Amino acid sequence: MNTLFSFPDPVNDYAARFVAAMVVILTLSFLVTANIWVLIFILYGFLARVLTGPTLSPIGLIATKILVPLFGNPEKLVPGPPKRFAQAIGLVFSAAALIALLFSEISATRYLIGILGFFASLEAFVGFCTGCYVFGWLIRFRLIPESVCESCKIDYSTNNDI
């Protein structure tokens, strides 16, 4: 059971980018259809990835078991904790969107999903993980202990005396 509720560390960045691309497709699908089941699927995916990595996430499994092998198993390993943090942010946004939709706040729902899709697009197409960037700053400001991600430490002690 411990292995079920674990997140991979390190993470293959190519798999993460494929997951993000599928999230972009799902967010666009929701924005076009406003189908609550698409939103529930998005929410479930983020919840599954936060709790278990790709293990219980359909798009996580598609990315790791089908797409990455289909493209010749490219591998670029990155730290897992920032990616999990990014998935948690996606979980918060998709949960907030579902709550807004349940309260008939269609505009708020569309904005939240649009923001989610925008940041997933940055990850998928540019390779910039905003959640990972924020995670690094939270470590720098000591809001997240460095022990959470030893490989995330950044040396900010450069001397910039001008």
Of the candidates 50, 8, 41, which has an alpha carbon nearest to the alpha carbon of residue 113? Answer: 41
What are the pLDDT digits (tens) for 26-59?
Answer: 999 999 999 999 999 999 999 999 999 999 999 9
User: In the chain, where are the structural domains located?
Assistant: 11-129
Distance CA(162)–CA(155), nearest Å, equals 19
What are the pLDDT digits (tens) for 107-147?
Answer: 999 999 999 999 999 999 999 999 999 999 999 999 999 88
| pLDDT(162) > 50 | no
What are the pLDDT digits (tens) for 143-155?
Answer: 999 888 887 766 5
Of the candidates 162, 131, 135, which has an alpha carbon nearest to the alpha carbon of residue 148? Answer: 135
Distance CA(112)–CA(125), nearest Å, equals 20
Please state whether the predicted TM-score (pTM) of the whole model is above 0.85: yes
What the block records as the tokens of 82 is: 């920032």
CA atoms within 13 A on the CB side of 59: 22
